Structure 1
Amino acid sequence: MTPLDLDALDLSALLCSRVCHDVISPVGAIVNGLEVLEDESDTAMREFALELIAKSARQASARLQFARIAFGAAGSAGASIDVADAEKVSRGMFVDDKTQLAWSAPQALFPKNKVKLLLNLVMIAQSAIPRGGLIDVNVQGDGEAPTLTLKSKGSHARIPAHVESLIAGTPETGSVDAHGILPFYAGLVARAAAMDVRFSIEGDTVTITATPTAAAIPTAPPADAGPEADRPSDSEPPETALA
């Protein structure tokens, strides 16, 4: 199937729709809480409204901080991101949620697109356990060739519908909407980061694995090649050798 070439304007619009969908609920709750404060004199109701406002404000802030890295630039072009920052914004997303997060990763700077891929996979992992449970994130290797493994364990765990074709960039319908933009975007980021994403399920556990594509794995010169291996060949033009 031919990969879908989504127009840049449509991609931007769908991503904006996704971010708005994520923050509109807590922002709406803040507005409701403020209305209660304006209209109610009952002490208990006012305390409830203040708690609602505080909780919703934390949720909105956490979701925006997450989206800033997962979907946004989060730095200049070609920048690296500390994996610890990815952990921080991910934990913020699950503070008051029915899903628990376990995280094991090196505290190091990784290329931006690899961190963005990790965060998008965290959201996909959450959708694999609609009734909640545990998401276990494990990052191994260095930033150039990491292995990302996410395990979602919970009741009624399943590989989200159409997620594999969306990540591959070949949606079955030939188009993508706001509901499918996250895995579709994750696929774009994965290809930009030269990473291959795979899904599997066993019992109540869905496993998502992202590994470097074959072309992205650096190859070392033969052990016995010696210093000559680093020199340009006689047939290589001087300009190429200097480059």
Structure 2
Amino acid sequence: MTVYALDALDLAALLCSRVCHDVISPVGAIVNGLEVLEDEKDAEMRGFALDLIKKSAHTASARLQFCRLAFGAAGSAGASIDIGDAEKVARGLFAGEKTQIDWRAPRVLMPKNQVKLILNLCLIAAAAIPRGGVITVIVDGDAERSPRFSVTAKGANAKLASHAPALLAGTPEGAVDAHGIQAFYTGLVARAVEMRLTVATDSDFVAIEAIAEFAEARDLAAAAV
């Protein structure tokens, strides 16, 4: 199977577009709120504007903190990240949203690309339940030698985008655009940490599992004995 190769500059540009898409809405709301404060004299409207600014600032901050871990170069090359930090930014991202997060992971240090993988899987899960629901994150196995990640989205009419499996596998049909870059990037990260992604769907849930390839090979060998 030939994996699609995306030019490094195109990858950087598309990821930047993805991050900007996430933060432009709350930042725009802050600007609108400030314009109301500048022109409005009514106390009630000014209070509404201040509330809008406060909520939008919290949203923008939460999204930027999440993106810093999910896409950015948090730490130096080869650095480990406390998975508790990943839980914190994930909960911050979904705070006040229709989607809740059920985080079931030990608080350990993990290689940063494994942490990126977990957070990106959370984004894919959230996109599968636009009406809201519950995202369950499970991390088990040996964190250093044979980790296993499971991210499940459960909600009404849960559905994975039709092009997502191919993007995760690195075999998209046609060019990768700004709409597909996040799933494509998730696949890149999974292959970088030598983990294989599997997808299962039903009428009310989407589940994505990441298994260390060497651990999978060991399990198959044990089963054959």
Give the TM-score range, shorter chain: over 0.9
Shift in Å at residue 158 of structure 1? Answer: 1.1
Contact 2:167 2:180 in 1 (8 A): yes
Return the alpha-carbon distance in structure 2 between the equivalents of residues 13 and 90 of structure 1: 24
- AA aligned opposite 2:151: L
Partner of 2:204: 204
Q: Does 1:8 align with 2:8?
A: yes
**Any conservation in 1 of the 2:157–2:203 contact (CA below 8 Å)?**
no
Secondary structure of 2:159's counterpart equals coil
Partners of 2:9 and 2:217 lie apart in 1 by 33
Equivalent position SS for 1:141: strand
Kept after mapping to 2: 8 A contact 1:130/1:156: no
Residue 54 of structure 1 deviates from its aligned partner by 0.4
State the 1:151 CA deviation: 1.3
Match of 1:190 in 2: 190
Query: How many Å separate the matches in 1 of 2:143 and 2:70?
Result: 17
Flag structure 2 segments of 5+ consecutive residues without an equivalent. Answer: 220-225
TM-score, normalization by structure 1: 0.87
Q: 1:171 aligns to what?
A: 172
Q: Is the 8 A contact 2:15 2:178 kept in 1?
A: yes
Deviation of residue 159 (structure 1)?
Answer: 1.9
Task: Tell me by how many angstroms 1:207 deviates.
Answer: 0.9
Query: What secondary structure is seen at the aligned counterpart in 1 of 2:142?
Result: coil
Deviations 1:109-150 (A, max 9, x none): 001110000000000000111211111111112322211111
Q: Which has the higher helix share?
A: 2
Is the 1:151–1:207 contact (alpha carbons within 8 Å) kept by the matching residues of 2? yes
Structure 1 segments of 4 or more deviating over 3 A? 215-219
Q: Which amino acid is the alignment partner of residue 197 of structure 1?
A: L
Whichever residue aligns with residue 83 of structure 1, its letter is I
1:109 match: 109
Q: What value does the CA root-mean-square deviation take over the aligned residues?
A: 1.5
Aligned to 2:20: 20
8 Å contact kept, 1:111–1:143: no
CA distance in 2, matches of 1:140, 1:158: 25
Structure 2 distance, partners of 1:73, 1:119, is 14
- How far residue 218 of structure 1 moved from its aligned partner, in angstroms, is 7.7
Code of the residue aligned with 1:166 in structure 2: it is L
Which residue of 2 is the match for residue 49 of structure 1? Answer: 49
How far does residue 215 in structure 1 lie from its aligned partner after superposition? Answer: 7.1
Counterpart CA distance in 1 for 2:2 and 2:206 is 27
1:87 aligned residue: 87
CA contact (8 A) 2:99 2:134 kept: yes
Report the TM-score when normalising by structure 2.
Answer: 0.93
Q: Which residue of 1 aligns with 2:223?
A: none
Q: Supply the distance in 1 between the matched residues of 2:17 and 2:91 (Cα, whole angstroms).
A: 23
What's the counterpart of residue 236 of structure 1?
none
Task: Work out whether residues 66 and 90 of structure 1, in 8 Å CA contact, stay in contact via their aligned partners in 2.
Answer: yes
Q: Take 1:35 and 1:142, find their aligned partners in 2: how far apart are those partners?
A: 53
Contact map agreement 1:159 1:200 (CA 8 A) in 2 = no
Amino acid at match of 2:69: I
**2:120: which partner in 1?**
120
Q: Identity of paired residues, percent?
A: 63
> 1:157–1:216: structure 2 CA closer, same or farther, 3 Å change rule?
closer
Decide whether the 8 Å contact of 1:110 with 1:142 is kept in 2: no
Unaligned runs of 5+ in 1: 220-243
User: How far, CA to CA, are the matches of 2:89 and 2:185 in structure 1?
Assistant: 19
Once the two structures are superposed, residues 76-100 of structure 1 have per-residue CA deviations (whole angstroms, 9 ceiling, x without a partner) of 0000011000000000110121111
Deviations, residues 182-202 of structure 1 (Å, cap 9, x unaligned):
010000000001111111012
Structure 1 residue identity aligned to 2:207: T
Superimposed CA distance per residue, residues 47-68 of structure 1 (whole angstroms, 9 cap, x where no aligned partner): 1000100000001001110111
Q: For residue 163 of structure 1, what is the amino acid of its counterpart?
A: A
